[in-house]
Amino acid sequence: MKHKCPICGVPADSETGDDFPFCSERCRVLDLGNWASGKYVISSPAFDEDFDEVPSEAPPAGEDSQSQQSPKPAEDDQND
């Protein structure tokens, strides 16, 4: 796959370039520096802060959900 390096615009090839999507190690390191310095930011939270990690109806960690709701054996209604 060919496209332009996001840092300098030079064509980069995924089949031949070890630093893809960048054209060189220099551009890859410059991009990393941009993230580290805060030049690049994610505009919205990566997760919903109001979201509970474990739903309230889920079993506590370590317990199997089937062990709490195991089906009862069918009872035969035989009245002889």
What are the boundaries of each domain within the chain? 2-37
pTM of the model: 0.50
Q: What share of the chain has pLDDT > 70, as a percent?
A: 55
The answer to whether the CB of 24 falls within 8 A of the CB of 13 is: no
Spacing of C-alpha 48 from chain mean position? 14
Q: How would residue 78 be classed by pLDDT, with cut points 50, 70 and 90? A: low
| HSE (side-chain half, CA atoms, 13 Å) at 76 | 3
Choose between 43 and 63: higher pLDDT.
43
More confident of the two residues 3 and 70: 3
pLDDT score at 42:
82
How much is the mean pLDDT over the chain? 76
In this prediction, residue 41 carries a pLDDT of 84
